[in-house]
Structure 1
Amino acid sequence: MVSLLARLSLPGQRDPGTRTPANAPVLAAVATAAVTVLGLLGVGLASVVVQTLDPAGGMPVAGSARLSGRLWLLAQGGGLTLRSGPLVLAPLLLTLVVAWGLSSAGRGVVRACDLTVGRSLAAVVAAAVGTHTLLAVLVGLLVTTPGAQVDLVRSAIGSAVVALLAVGWGIARDSGLLDDLLDSAPEPVRPLLRAAASGLLTAVALGLLMVAVALAADAGGYAALSRSLGGSGAGAVGLLVLGVLLLPNAAAAAIGVAAGPGFAVGSGTLVSVHGVTLEAVPALPLLAALPDTQAVPLLAFASQVVPALAGLVAGATLGRRLGDDDGGSVVAGLWGVLSGVLLGLACGLLAWAAGGSLGDGALADVGAPPVATGLAVALQAGVAAAVAAAVTRWRALG
């Protein structure tokens, strides 16, 4: 879509084969708007298809459109005020899709207009962020109903932040600005960032594995909960799709358990290696992964190796990517500690983004505690990363 938009003639353009920086903000606004329109159409179409499976007819098209708009806003940090209280929980898989679309739009504009100048890049980012934020507010106004009121301020701020990060990342990558910044930084910065990213991906993958094992262990509970919610095809498929969208959130909660602090589903349910407290939770089949008893499950104890394994991956990545002039194994070990700290920071930010609120009172706090999770991962991963980086560096130097 972005490449198609890039080939369209723009006002004031003298040659269809060239782009001037003055046209870049216009193209950025159009490309960003296309991301919102296509994204809403995709989510809305999925909702309509799910509703057609309901033998009773399901939700009308207008209801599906409102549902897709609310999911779109929630994915970008927005909030809803329901009769049960505030709903603030971003389905992070949809958030990643939105960020990918915005980043691709920014990259497409840079390629189409051949941008390298800082002022032109800033104008593109400003146009994209402004357009995306304005459309988010417009969507919020359209999908607000007396029973589900959109928090317009929160939605505007969240959409602006997502657009700024995603478009800025895409533009920085394709314009060469990111490479220039990394080249001007100290030599180990690039390996450090790669190491932290590899460690984070490892932690998330292991967290998803934990969720899969927990769900497989209680597959009967998942099926029973799905049947209790109506049993229709639309209900089962809709809950499955919602569970898939929330899988990154579940992985963040699993990392919280692995690190030690655990996670909460409201004030009455807490799962950690130190104990389990269970009370009533929302009727979401994904929550069948919760323990069935107050006893700490064996999986929680086994998961304590996750921060160390993520740290080992980060340290090994760092040790392999350090340059010839970056010191020996002792220096690599010290840098490994820093990579573990960065990994802890990333896990804390993930826990913060994955948490939220499902209502007032007992369900006002859902997810792993960000600060405690980040500190715990940093401590455990830092030690493992230091050892892995030192050993890998020693072997690389022969």
Structure 2
Amino acid sequence: MSDTPVPALPSHPAAADPDVGDLDGPEGLKVLDDHDGPEDGLHGDGHGAGVEEEEFSDAPDPAADLRAALDGAAAGFVAVGLGLGFALVPVLLAVLADAFGGGFTDPGDILRTAGQVWLAAQRVGLDVAGEQPGAAVRLGIVPLGVTVPLVIVLVRAGRRCAAAGESGQTGGARAVTFALSAFAIVYAGLAYGIAVIAGTPAIQPVRERAPVAAGAAALVFGMYGALRTGAYRDLSERMPPHLRDRVRPYAGPAAVALRAGAAAACVLAAGGAVIVSASLIVHAHAVGAYVDRVAVGAPDTVALALLCAALMPNAIMCAVAYASGAGFAVGVGTTVAPTGVDLGAVPALPLLGALPGTTSIAGWCTLAVPVAAGVAAGLIAARGGQAGRLRTALAAAAAAGPVTGVLVAGAAWLSTGAAGAQRLTRTGPHIWPAAGSVTAAVAVAAVLTAALAGWWRWRRVRAAAQLATVVVPVPEQSSR
């Protein structure tokens, strides 16, 4: 045998570590698994997942919550500032038109008037002093022409609050909730302060209603803006597995139903605008007579035009209620509907000059507007059905009716209020009859349209299949 020494085998790096022990024995395996080093935590079984769970943990972070709350509070200040700016525009236009007519030009009066308009646009009532002491008249009509830009501002503020949940790995739904809460609280507090400051001896905003109405508007539309940007999308993953599996199949049809109902509401609004425009053209003589009766000069004409522009969405909503068959009221005990018109004395507002005096064929033709809205909803439901399933499309089309009815009820409620004393304490659409009629009309028309669209699609698919299976005979060649 040779005396050449055998080279030693390279030892494992862990062999030099006395804490690891023998890798071949059970004790060594146990010690290795319990090693707390960073390398073993990344490469060992289960330790890498532990690092990820710690990184994306939902543990409360006071600093992140404070940052989200500050972002929401800043969004509330910005929303109030922008909203007051929108309300200030018509006031400034009226002041400029009346600058040489002896009207008010005091900056404090202008700002207080803008605050009153801003509060009225959020359904905060205004108490107007009467001729006798203590005989105040409460105005509750909402100028939706000013409300629409305020809603857009609140929705964008909700998107800013949703961005607070994306600033860190530990944000998410918790941060969005803190931001929205701070946003609504700040917005409501500022509304109360404006209600206190904007009061005058002639007009006093209802102070106790200001924080409630403004805070509710900020919370509702802010939440809508946050949901539009994908906030709370991780809540479905936190649901119990068995509940999530049951709810998940209905998520797609529900989204289709919401889109179809919103599209039907847009068609209704467009139809109402057409009805109002046509009525103003037909009754142009009566509208002009109202303008001549109220407006003395150019400043009055400008102020009257601004008032009519602010109330134009209210008129469109009344036209939607008229097209539904339920109609609307211009005073207690009055009704304007295709089935009949029962009116008394009305204020000398040019928009009211377009009211129909009696029933007509044109009035009955307006009943086609909810049907057209249902057709649009049915087409969207048929197009959004999962895998072309007719049953899913029909279910989404039927659900579009209640969605549209809820939207109509909300808009009709905003359009209803007191426009004066005595008889004028009740003006606006008949809320629940209009919402119920629209719900039924849209649901029936949408289901029929979706069924017809599904049948047409099935017919086209069947015709294509038949064309694909037709055997074209090939003539035989004659043998020579």
Match of 2:218 in 1: 163
- Please state if 1:64 is matched with 2:125: no
- Please state if 1:92 is matched with 2:92: no
Q: What letter is aligned with 2:369? A: V
1:59–1:227 Cα change, 3 Å? farther
Asked if the contact 2:188–2:214 (Cα under 8 Å) also holds between the matched residues in 1, the reply is yes
Match of 2:363 in 1: 300
Distance 2:340 2:228 in 1: 45
1:66–1:33 Cα change, 3 Å? same
Normalization by structure 2: what TM-score?
A: 0.73
- One of 44, 47, 53 as aligned partner of 2:88: 44
Match of 1:34 in 2: 78
Asked if the contact 1:173–1:179 (Cα under 8 Å) also holds between the matched residues in 2, the reply is no
- One of 294, 302, 309 as aligned partner of 1:237: 302
Distance 2:163 2:95 in 1: 40
Alignment of 1:269-288 (within 5 A): 269-288=334-353
Alignment of 1:42-191 (within 5 A): 42-54=86-98, 55-61=100-106, 62-82=108-128, 83=130, 85-111=137-163, 114-115=166-167, 117-177=172-232, 184=248, 185-191=250-256
CA displacement 1:213-238 (0-9 Å, x = unmatched): 11111223222222222332222222
Structure 1 unaligned residues grouped into runs of 5+: 1-18
- One of 305, 310, 328 as aligned partner of 2:373: 310
Q: What letter is aligned with 1:134? A: G
Q: What letter is aligned with 2:67? A: N
Match of 1:5 in 2: none
Normalization by structure 1: what TM-score?
A: 0.88
Q: What letter is aligned with 1:245? A: A
Bigger mean CA deviation after superposition, 297-306 or 209-218:
297-306
CA shift, 1:114, in A, is 2.1
Asked if the contact 1:21–1:113 (Cα under 8 Å) also holds between the matched residues in 2, the reply is no
CA shift, 1:20, in A, is 4.9
CA shift, 1:132, in A, is 0.6
Match of 1:16 in 2: none
1:178–1:364 Cα change, 3 Å? farther
Please provide the CA RMSD for this pair.
2.3
- Secondary structure of 2:204's match? strand
Matched positions, count: 376
By relative contact order (CA 8 Å, sep 6+), the higher-ranking structure is 1
Match of 2:279 in 1: 214
Alignment of 1:242-261 (within 5 A): 242-261=307-326
CA shift, 1:338, in A, is 2.1
Distance 2:255 2:92 in 1: 45
Distance 1:63 1:298 in 2: 49
- Secondary structure of 1:77's match? coil
Distance 1:336 1:41 in 2: 41
Asked if the contact 1:52–1:58 (Cα under 8 Å) also holds between the matched residues in 2, the reply is no
Q: What letter is aligned with 1:381? A: V
Asked if the contact 1:106–1:168 (Cα under 8 Å) also holds between the matched residues in 2, the reply is yes
Q: What letter is aligned with 2:95? A: Q
Q: What letter is aligned with 2:85? A: L
CA shift, 1:168, in A, is 1.0
CA displacement 1:177-213 (0-9 Å, x = unmatched): 3697699453200000000000000001100110011
1:366–1:349 Cα change, 3 Å? same
- One of 197, 219, 225 as aligned partner of 2:290: 225
- Tell me the percent identity: 28
1:180–1:212 Cα change, 3 Å? farther
CA shift, 1:310, in A, is 0.7
CA shift, 1:274, in A, is 1.7
CA shift, 1:81, in A, is 1.5
Bigger mean CA deviation after superposition, 186-195 or 79-88:
79-88
1:60–1:180 Cα change, 3 Å? same
Q: What letter is aligned with 1:357? A: A
Larger radius of gyration: 2
